[in-house]
Amino acid sequence: MVWLIETGSFPSKFLDHIDGNKLNNCFTNLREVTVKQNSENKIVQKNNKLGVRGVCFNKRLGKYIAQIQHNGKNNHIGVFQTIEEAKNAYIEHRNKLFTHHNLNR
């Protein structure tokens, strides 16, 4: 409704909450995006044990694996000794592939 009040029309695409907080419906926190762009700005899922998007721990290897989903495909980034290395590799790939992500997450 905020979008309609501010712009005078319904969004023609999807609305994305820039900060990831779906309760923050301030007009300055909303932007019109495609489905792909909206999925690029997802927050870390609640069931993510590490709290880092795109990184999981492989018990058998004792290492961290970074991966990213892009255009409906899961892409392997690499295997890393530390969670920080895996996180940084994910962020580097995310910044190359995505156009509508929040750089702070």
| Residue reference for tokens 């290395």 | 85
Is residue 22 scored above 50 in pLDDT? yes
Question: What are the pLDDT digits (tens) for 34-79?
Answer: 887 777 767 777 778 898 989 999 999 999 999 998 887 889 999 9
Instruction: Return the domain boundaries, the chain.
Output: 1-33, 44-105
| Residue reference for tokens 């409906």 | 72
Is residue 105 scored above 60 in pLDDT? no
Read off the pLDDT band of 104 (50, 70, 90): very low
- Three-state secondary structure call for residue 32: strand
Read off the pLDDT band of 101 (50, 70, 90): low
Classify the C-alpha dihedral 89-91-92-93 as positive or negative.
positive
What is the assigned CATH class of domain 44-105?
A: alpha beta
What angle (nearest 5°) sits at the alpha carbon of residue 22, between those of residues 97 and 95?
Answer: 15
pLDDT at 102: 56
Question: What are the pLDDT digits (tens) for 61-73?
Answer: 999 999 998 887 8
What phi and psi values does residue 77 have, to the nearest 5 degrees? Answer: -95, -45
Written in H, E and C, the secondary structure of 66-88 is EEEEECCEEEEEEEECCHHHHHH
